[in-house]
Protein backbone atom coordinates (compact mmCIF):
# COMPACT_ATOMS: atom_id res chain seq x y z
CA UNK A 1 0.00 0.00 0.00
CA UNK A 2 1.22 3.48 -0.84
CA UNK A 3 1.98 5.70 2.11
CA UNK A 4 -0.02 8.76 1.14
CA UNK A 5 -0.04 9.99 4.74
CA UNK A 6 3.69 9.65 5.40
CA UNK A 7 4.63 11.60 8.55
CA UNK A 8 1.21 13.21 8.89
CA UNK A 9 0.04 13.65 12.49
CA UNK A 10 -3.47 12.48 13.29
CA UNK A 11 -5.84 12.44 16.24
CA UNK A 12 -8.70 9.94 16.12
CA UNK A 13 -11.29 10.76 18.77
CA UNK A 14 -12.89 7.44 19.67
CA UNK A 15 -10.28 5.23 18.05
CA UNK A 16 -10.07 2.23 20.35
CA UNK A 17 -12.38 -0.17 18.51
CA UNK A 18 -14.84 -0.55 15.66
CA UNK A 19 -14.67 2.01 12.87
CA UNK A 20 -12.31 4.24 14.85
CA UNK A 21 -9.77 1.45 15.32
CA UNK A 22 -9.95 0.59 11.62
CA UNK A 23 -9.17 4.23 10.82
CA UNK A 24 -6.18 4.20 13.19
CA UNK A 25 -4.80 1.06 11.53
CA UNK A 26 -5.34 2.46 8.03
CA UNK A 27 -3.64 5.75 8.88
CA UNK A 28 -0.68 3.87 10.36
CA UNK A 29 -0.38 1.67 7.27
CA UNK A 30 -0.24 4.83 5.18
CA UNK A 31 2.53 6.30 7.33
CA UNK A 32 0.70 8.64 9.71
CA UNK A 33 1.56 9.01 13.38
CA UNK A 34 -1.63 8.59 15.40
CA UNK A 35 -3.04 9.47 18.79
CA UNK A 36 -6.35 7.82 19.65
CA UNK A 37 -8.76 8.40 22.51
CA UNK A 38 -10.89 5.99 24.49
CA UNK A 39 -13.29 6.21 27.42
CA UNK A 40 -13.44 2.82 29.14
CA UNK A 41 -11.83 0.09 27.03
CA UNK A 42 -8.18 0.74 27.88
CA UNK A 43 -6.97 -2.72 26.90
CA UNK A 44 -8.61 -2.47 23.47
CA UNK A 45 -7.20 1.02 22.99
CA UNK A 46 -3.67 -0.04 23.93
CA UNK A 47 -3.99 -3.01 21.57
CA UNK A 48 -5.00 -0.75 18.70
CA UNK A 49 -2.03 1.53 19.41
CA UNK A 50 0.34 -1.45 19.52
CA UNK A 51 -0.94 -2.66 16.16
CA UNK A 52 -0.44 0.80 14.70
CA UNK A 53 3.17 0.89 15.90
CA UNK A 54 3.95 -2.27 13.93
CA UNK A 55 3.80 -0.09 10.82
CA UNK A 56 6.76 1.94 12.05
CA UNK A 57 4.86 5.00 13.25
CA UNK A 58 4.25 6.64 16.60
CA UNK A 59 0.94 5.66 18.19
CA UNK A 60 -0.48 6.53 21.58
CA UNK A 61 -3.79 5.85 23.35
CA UNK A 62 -5.08 8.42 25.83
CA UNK A 63 -8.25 8.46 27.90
CA UNK A 64 -10.70 11.26 27.10
CA UNK A 65 -14.46 11.32 27.58
CA UNK A 66 -15.99 13.13 24.62
CA UNK A 67 -18.83 14.34 26.84
CA UNK A 68 -16.28 16.36 28.83
CA UNK A 69 -15.20 19.50 26.96
CA UNK A 70 -12.04 19.86 29.02
CA UNK A 71 -10.91 16.32 28.24
CA UNK A 72 -11.52 16.82 24.52
CA UNK A 73 -9.38 19.96 24.47
CA UNK A 74 -6.71 18.22 26.55
CA UNK A 75 -6.61 15.36 24.03
CA UNK A 76 -5.91 17.83 21.23
CA UNK A 77 -3.25 19.59 23.28
CA UNK A 78 -1.56 16.30 24.18
CA UNK A 79 -1.57 15.22 20.54
CA UNK A 80 0.15 18.46 19.53
CA UNK A 81 2.68 17.98 22.32
CA UNK A 82 3.42 14.32 21.55
CA UNK A 83 3.52 14.64 17.76
CA UNK A 84 4.75 18.25 17.51
CA UNK A 85 1.61 19.32 15.69
CA UNK A 86 -1.58 18.02 14.13
CA UNK A 87 -2.54 17.61 10.47
CA UNK A 88 -5.62 15.38 10.63
CA UNK A 89 -8.53 15.24 13.07
CA UNK A 90 -11.09 12.44 12.93
CA UNK A 91 -14.15 12.76 15.13
CA UNK A 92 -15.22 9.14 15.40
CA UNK A 93 -16.66 8.93 18.92
CA UNK A 94 -20.40 8.50 19.03
CA UNK A 95 -23.23 7.01 21.05
CA UNK A 96 -26.66 5.76 20.06
CA UNK A 97 -29.37 5.69 22.72
CA UNK A 98 -32.63 4.50 21.20
CA UNK A 99 -36.04 4.99 22.81
CA UNK A 100 -39.51 6.19 21.81
CA UNK A 101 -40.23 9.87 22.35
CA UNK A 102 -42.51 9.22 25.33
CA UNK A 103 -39.73 7.42 27.20
CA UNK A 104 -36.66 9.37 26.11
CA UNK A 105 -34.79 10.71 29.12
CA UNK A 106 -33.46 14.25 29.12
CA UNK A 107 -30.07 13.09 30.43
CA UNK A 108 -29.76 10.74 27.44
CA UNK A 109 -30.61 13.59 25.08
CA UNK A 110 -27.97 15.79 26.70
CA UNK A 111 -25.26 13.12 26.56
CA UNK A 112 -26.03 12.24 22.94
CA UNK A 113 -25.70 15.85 21.88
CA UNK A 114 -22.59 16.31 24.02
CA UNK A 115 -20.77 13.37 22.45
CA UNK A 116 -22.15 13.38 18.91
CA UNK A 117 -22.29 17.14 18.26
CA UNK A 118 -20.68 19.35 20.90
CA UNK A 119 -17.48 17.29 21.10
CA UNK A 120 -17.04 17.52 17.33
CA UNK A 121 -17.19 21.31 17.48
CA UNK A 122 -14.91 21.50 20.53
CA UNK A 123 -12.27 19.19 19.05
CA UNK A 124 -12.37 21.06 15.76
CA UNK A 125 -12.10 24.44 17.46
CA UNK A 126 -9.10 23.23 19.48
CA UNK A 127 -7.35 21.52 16.55
CA UNK A 128 -7.57 24.28 13.95
CA UNK A 129 -5.48 26.56 16.14
CA UNK A 130 -2.54 24.31 15.26
CA UNK A 131 -3.42 23.13 11.76
CA UNK A 132 -1.63 24.54 8.76
CA UNK A 133 -2.75 24.69 5.15
CA UNK A 134 -3.61 21.19 3.98
CA UNK A 135 -5.19 20.23 7.30
CA UNK A 136 -8.00 17.69 7.24
CA UNK A 137 -11.02 17.23 9.53
CA UNK A 138 -13.29 14.22 9.05
CA UNK A 139 -16.38 13.47 11.11
CA UNK A 140 -17.97 10.04 11.28
CA UNK A 141 -21.66 10.73 10.85
CA UNK A 142 -24.30 8.19 9.86
CA UNK A 143 -26.62 7.32 7.02
CA UNK A 144 -29.35 7.84 9.63
CA UNK A 145 -28.82 11.56 9.10
CA UNK A 146 -30.75 11.00 5.86
CA UNK A 147 -32.95 8.04 6.70
CA UNK A 148 -34.23 6.63 10.00
CA UNK A 149 -36.39 3.64 9.05
CA UNK A 150 -37.45 2.52 12.52
CA UNK A 151 -38.97 4.08 15.63
CA UNK A 152 -36.89 5.26 18.58
CA UNK A 153 -33.99 6.71 16.64
CA UNK A 154 -35.04 10.36 16.41
CA UNK A 155 -32.41 11.81 18.76
CA UNK A 156 -29.57 9.82 17.19
CA UNK A 157 -30.69 10.88 13.71
CA UNK A 158 -30.93 14.51 14.84
CA UNK A 159 -27.40 14.42 16.25
CA UNK A 160 -25.93 13.08 13.03
CA UNK A 161 -27.97 15.43 10.84
CA UNK A 162 -26.58 18.34 12.87
CA UNK A 163 -23.10 17.50 11.59
CA UNK A 164 -24.23 18.17 8.03
CA UNK A 165 -24.99 21.79 8.83
CA UNK A 166 -21.89 22.14 10.97
CA UNK A 167 -19.62 20.91 8.19
CA UNK A 168 -21.22 23.14 5.55
CA UNK A 169 -20.69 26.18 7.76
CA UNK A 170 -17.18 25.29 8.88
CA UNK A 171 -16.11 24.62 5.29
CA UNK A 172 -16.57 28.37 4.75
CA UNK A 173 -14.72 29.28 7.93
CA UNK A 174 -11.78 27.00 7.23
CA UNK A 175 -11.53 27.20 3.45
CA UNK A 176 -9.59 30.45 3.57
CA UNK A 177 -6.99 28.64 5.68
CA UNK A 178 -6.69 25.75 3.22
CA UNK A 179 -8.24 23.28 5.71
CA UNK A 180 -10.95 20.88 4.53
CA UNK A 181 -13.76 19.43 6.64
CA UNK A 182 -16.13 16.64 5.64
CA UNK A 183 -18.48 14.00 6.99
CA UNK A 184 -18.41 10.29 6.25
CA UNK A 185 -21.84 8.68 6.60
CA UNK A 186 -21.44 4.94 7.10
CA UNK A 187 -24.29 2.51 6.82
CA UNK A 188 -24.55 -0.62 8.97
CA UNK A 189 -21.00 -1.71 9.77
CA UNK A 190 -19.83 -4.93 11.40
CA UNK A 191 -18.49 -3.99 14.86
CA UNK A 192 -18.73 -5.47 18.33
CA UNK A 193 -21.55 -3.00 19.09
CA UNK A 194 -23.45 -3.77 15.86
CA UNK A 195 -22.46 -7.28 14.73
CA UNK A 196 -23.39 -8.46 11.27
CA UNK A 197 -24.61 -11.74 12.74
CA UNK A 198 -27.44 -10.33 14.91
CA UNK A 199 -31.15 -10.80 14.23
CA UNK A 200 -31.43 -7.06 13.61
CA UNK A 201 -28.64 -7.27 11.04
CA UNK A 202 -30.43 -10.11 9.27
CA UNK A 203 -33.49 -7.90 8.78
CA UNK A 204 -31.41 -5.02 7.43
CA UNK A 205 -29.47 -7.24 5.05
CA UNK A 206 -32.62 -8.83 3.67
CA UNK A 207 -34.93 -5.81 3.47
CA UNK A 208 -32.92 -2.56 3.52
CA UNK A 209 -29.39 -2.94 2.18
CA UNK A 210 -29.06 -3.08 -1.60
CA UNK A 211 -25.83 -5.04 -1.26
CA UNK A 212 -27.36 -7.40 1.35
CA UNK A 213 -24.36 -7.22 3.66
CA UNK A 214 -22.77 -5.08 6.34
CA UNK A 215 -19.67 -3.01 5.66
CA UNK A 216 -16.36 -3.83 7.27
CA UNK A 217 -14.59 -1.21 9.34
CA UNK A 218 -11.77 -1.29 6.81
CA UNK A 219 -14.13 -0.23 4.03
CA UNK A 220 -15.21 2.83 6.00
CA UNK A 221 -11.58 3.58 6.84
CA UNK A 222 -10.67 3.58 3.15
CA UNK A 223 -13.00 6.51 2.49
CA UNK A 224 -11.68 8.36 5.53
CA UNK A 225 -8.11 7.80 4.32
CA UNK A 226 -9.03 9.24 0.94
CA UNK A 227 -10.44 12.40 2.55
CA UNK A 228 -7.33 12.69 4.72
CA UNK A 229 -4.99 12.37 1.76
CA UNK A 230 -3.64 14.66 -0.95
CA UNK A 231 -6.12 13.59 -3.65
CA UNK A 232 -9.07 15.02 -1.69
CA UNK A 233 -7.77 18.57 -1.51
CA UNK A 234 -10.80 19.95 -3.38
CA UNK A 235 -13.43 18.10 -1.30
CA UNK A 236 -14.87 20.13 1.56
CA UNK A 237 -18.26 20.76 3.13
CA UNK A 238 -19.42 17.37 1.90
CA UNK A 239 -21.20 14.44 3.50
CA UNK A 240 -20.10 11.30 1.68
CA UNK A 241 -22.30 8.24 2.07
CA UNK A 242 -20.91 4.71 2.22
CA UNK A 243 -23.94 2.64 3.17
CA UNK A 244 -24.43 -0.34 0.89
CA UNK A 245 -27.57 1.20 -0.53
CA UNK A 246 -29.27 1.90 2.82
CA UNK A 247 -30.45 5.31 1.65
CA UNK A 248 -30.97 4.35 -2.00
d(CA 248, CA 246) in angstroms, rounded, equals: 6
Residue ranges of alpha helices (H) inside the chain are 18-29, 42-53, 69-83, 106-113, 119-127, 154-175, 199-207, 217-228
180-186 β-sheet, strand order: 59-63, 33-38, 9-13, 88-91, 136-140, 180-186, 239-242
Active site residue 156: yes
Of 156, 214, 226, 234, the catalytic one is: 156
Query: Which residues lie closer than 8 Å to 115 by C-beta, 6 or more apart?
Result: 66, 67, 93, 94, 95
119 close to 140: Cβ distance less than 8 angstroms = no
DSSP structure class, residue 166: H
Given phi > 0 = left and psi -120 to 50 = alpha, else beta, which region is 42?
A: alpha
Contacts of 99 (CB under 8 A, 6+ apart): 105, 108, 152
The angle formed by the CA atoms of residues 143, 149 and 151, to the nearest 5 degrees, is 120
Q: Can you name the residues that pair with 33 across neighbouring β-strands?
A: 9
Q: Which residues are catalytic?
A: 156
Amino acid sequence: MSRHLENKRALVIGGSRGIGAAIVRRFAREGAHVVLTYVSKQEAAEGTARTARTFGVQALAIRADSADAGEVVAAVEQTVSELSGIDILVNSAGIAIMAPIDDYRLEDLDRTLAVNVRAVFIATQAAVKYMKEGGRIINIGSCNAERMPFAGGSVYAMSKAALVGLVKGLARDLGQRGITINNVHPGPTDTDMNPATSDFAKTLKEQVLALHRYASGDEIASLVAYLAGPEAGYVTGASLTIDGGFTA
